[in-house]
Amino acid sequence: MSALQIIDDWYGSAAIDYEDAWALQREIHAQRAADEIPDTALFLEHPPVFTAGRRTEPHERPFDGTPVVDVDRGGKITFHGPGQLVGYPITKLPSHVLVVDYVRRVEEALIRAAADLGVVTGRVHGRSGVWLAATAGRPERKVGAIGIRVSRGVTMHGFSLNADVDLAYYERFVPCGIADAGVTSLSAELGRDVTVPEAAAAVAPHLGELLEWQPYTPSPDVVHDDHPVVPVLGLGAGAQA
């Protein structure tokens, strides 16, 4: 199987508008479904934008003037903007790979990348994404989100990893519909600037390895006792959190 091809032409001042990137995804998705190209991931930044998945409720939308785009993935609403690595793996799933396994592999790539940068993260049972454990005076905090769609056996949409994003944007809505947890960034946790290219360089080798579909040992979950388990819904057609 060909190695994952990563295209990363859209950082900083070259950040790509969400809808332009969505159109590019659809183009590459069609090429991958037709076996015209190998598995390909787009690594990029977006100008500030909220994207609303199919389960977004009207009251969950922000009204601060930032664009809101309705998208064809599962889940609720989330934010993309400068300082956040966004990755769109467009990969053909082998027949033996379930969608939930794909989601867990993307999570694992982010967990391993964060560890390489010095931040210990993991999964929270019942919630997709990448989390830091609760600490004294601070709740569990999400640093990476997953939101996917699978069509014709090929994935699109993907993940975001907060490198040095402006966390004030997350005060304008309830991220992913989860009100009893926080949001953070690698920079906030480490006390130093982590750039998007630095985060991308950490993620790329792990994502490439995990999407070779070999067996792997998952990282430990984040231990939590203070909130109810929330089922992860919609993984058959797309999920986001």
Segment 10-20, tens digit of pLDDT: 999 999 999 99
Residue 163 has pLDDT above 70, yes or no: yes
Mean pLDDT of 73-85: 88
pLDDT at 55: 74
DSSP 20: H
pLDDT at 174: 58
Cβ burial of 11 (10 Å; 0-12, 13-18, 19+) is middle
176 in active site = yes
pLDDT at 138: 83
Q: Reduced to 3 DSSP states, what percent helix, strand and coil does the chain have, rounded to the nearest 5?
A: 30, 25, 45
Residue 227 has pLDDT above 50, yes or no: no
Q: Enter the tokens of residue 83.
A: 């300082």
**CA pair distance 33, 9, nearest whole angstrom:** 23
- Identity of the residue numbered 66: T
pLDDT at 241: 35
Residue 3 has pLDDT above 70, yes or no: yes
Residue 180 pLDDT level (bands cut at 50, 70, 90): low
- The pLDDT tens digits for 102-152 are 999 999 999 999 999 999 999 998 888 999 999 878 889 999 999 899 999
**CA pair distance 143, 106, nearest whole angstrom:** 14
pLDDT at 96: 92
Mean pLDDT of 60-85: 84
List Cβ neighbours of 173 (8 Å cut-off, separation of 6 or more): 50, 60, 61, 62, 77, 79
**CA pair distance 191, 206, nearest whole angstrom:** 24
Sign of the alpha-carbon torsion through 237, 142, 3, 82: positive
Say which of 44, 176, 183, 232 is annotated catalytic. 176
